[in-house]
A and B are shown apart, each in its own frame.
Chain A
């Protein structure tokens, strides 16, 4: 299957700082990328859907000014957690769907573990 990478795989930051997480589709073009968050022992929660070249659509309850999403190209989306606080500590997972819709699959990245001190 297609490969989605995330960078970094883990990050520790101080409270109040901003953290950027990159999501790349390595061998396909993704018109749509999704960002999820997963707290310990919980399921994945969809945060937002981003389409290349347009503004992201955020799920209810997700602060768009805190979680900035940029999808500037067909292979790269970034999630910036602004002014991070300890409650933002979580496992952030991105995923992408192929532009051609050749396969009915959504490919997931390996996740980024964020710890805010």
Chain B
């Protein structure tokens, strides 16, 4: 699976949008971009995923560049409960037999009041 690069940490203000970048320059054509987050001492929580089109759900938006070498997760209105480690992961489709999620170091996001 392609490796991803994320900033180690970032702060954002409560109520503002949080933009989390991720580089995945070696992504291949059949690999998806997944985002998960992990609040302290809990299991990871799925946020969103995409292949090449931008995606939006109730939690976040995912913007993938046209060349697919990078993406940005957008939390539109960050709250204190969004403080967590955010993981950007590249992997084959869930339906693929060789699908598996390998976690990198992630970005520690701290939302401040």
Given A101-B95, A104-B32, do A43 and B104 touch, yes or no (CB 8 Å)?
yes
Cβ of B94 within 8 Å of any chain A Cβ, yes or no, is yes
Interface, chain B (partner A; CB < 8 A) = 32, 36, 38, 41-46, 49, 85, 87, 93-95, 99-106
Whether B43 and A43, one on each chain, are in contact in the complex, defined by CB atoms closer than 8 angstroms, is no
Q: Are A107 and B46 in contact (CB under 8 A)?
A: yes
Q: Which of A107, A108, A111 has the most CB of B within 10 A?
A: A108
Assess the B94–A105 pair: CB atoms within 8 A: yes
A74 to chain B, nearest CB (A): 16
Contact size class for A?
A: 20 to 34
Nearest B residue to A36 via CB reads B103
Q: Give Cα A45–Cα B102 distance, bound, in whole angstroms.
A: 7
Interface residues in A1-15 by Cβ distance below 8 A to B read 1, 4, 6
